[in-house]
Amino acid sequence: MKVLKYLFLLILLIGLTSCKSDYISQEVQPKNTTNQVQKNSNTKVDLASITDQNKKYKGDFCVWLIPDNKNYKVLEDVIKDIANTQKSSSFKPHLTLFCGNNKNLPSLEKQFENTFKNEKIFSIDIGKPQMGERFSNKLYLPVEDNGTLEKFFLKAQKLDGGSEYAFDPHISVFYGEKIPYSIIDIPKKYLYMLDNPKVQKVALISNECASENYTCTRNIIKSIKLS
């Protein structure tokens, strides 16, 4: 009997110790969990969205035309497919309409907004892939001018009247110094998916590039959704 009694007391003591440990664990855990959540949240913050553009902006800018969502996705798939094939960097689909230099960012933003705020959505015709000479258009899709593109270009020129940027509407799908022939036909697999592509947005982009290694840092300064 004494053995059973001692055994019962031992089991009871072990149970109380276990409950106390669980209670302590439950008391401490929320604090650690909160810290972990806060830490994870901080890592997900898009720093580019809160960066003071005036500190980064050095004067070089471009005006991009952005396709509608459906066709944007098709073009994005083309660029990603080529990037995966070449183990190279991907980038967002866009038509570079114009580039220039204006160090007065507040004035440039206001002028950009006034220039394009009342413009309408318009259709574009995208052609078959062609090879270019520059790093930034080594493989591209030509975009046929329907009159509206040139009108937009002439408007954009007013943002920097001294710029020598030439009117050359196209959508680049590969950046590089040399073009592997293995990727030339990749865009053809996707072009049939394009469905009456339209320009849906016009964006003002800061464009800081290092000529020695062709790296560029681009940030959207302002974008306008066409009506």
**For residue range 128-144, what is the model confidence (pLDDT) as tens digits?**
999 998 888 899 999 99
Q: Is residue 8 part of a domain?
A: no
CA-CA distance, 172 to 137, in Å (whole number)?
5
Mean pLDDT over residues 156-165, rounded? 95
Orientation angle between helical segments 105-116 and 148-157, nearest 10 degrees: 150
Look at residue 183 and tell me if it is in a domain: yes
Average pLDDT over residues 174-178: 87
Distance CA 94, CA 83 (A): 16
Based on the structure, what is the number of domains in the chain?
1
Q: What is the extent of the structural domain holding 212? A: 62-225
Confidence band of 90 (pLDDT split at 50, 70, 90): confident
Any domain includes 202: yes
Please check whether residue 17 lies inside any domain of the structure: no
Domain CATH number, residue 198: 3.90.1140.10
Signed CA dihedral, 106, 110, 115, 116: sign only: positive
At residue 209, the pLDDT reads: 64
Selected residue with higher pLDDT from 208 and 123: 123
Nearest to 126 by CA among 111, 141, 140: 141
The answer to the question of residue 6 being in a domain is no
Separation of alpha carbons 158 and 116, rounded Å: 12
pLDDT tens sequence across 35-60? 332 333 232 323 233 233 444 567 89
pLDDT beyond 80 at 226: yes
Look at residue 152 in the predicted model and tell me its pLDDT: 98
Q: Cα–Cα distances in Å, from 200 out to 58, 72, 128, 196?
A: 27, 10, 21, 12
pLDDT: which is higher, 57 or 118: 118
Mean pLDDT of 168-195: 92
The helix or strand, by DSSP H or E, that contains position 113, with its residue range, turns out to be helix 105-116
Q: Rounded to 5 degrees, what are φ and ψ at 169?
A: -65, 120
pLDDT average, residue stretch 13-22: 48
Task: Report the predicted TM-score, pTM, of the whole model to 2 decimal places.
Answer: 0.73
Q: Is residue 52 part of a domain?
A: no
Residue type, 174: F
Is residue 133 a part of any domain in this protein?
A: yes
The share of the chain scoring above pLDDT 90, in percent, equals 58
Average pLDDT over residues 81-100: 92
Residue 76 inside a domain? The answer is yes
pLDDT of residue 182: 85
pLDDT digits (tens, 9 = 90+) for 199-223: 999 999 997 766 555 566 788 999 9
Name the percent of the chain lying above pLDDT 70.
Answer: 71
Q: What's the pLDDT at 44?
A: 31
Average pLDDT, the chain: 79
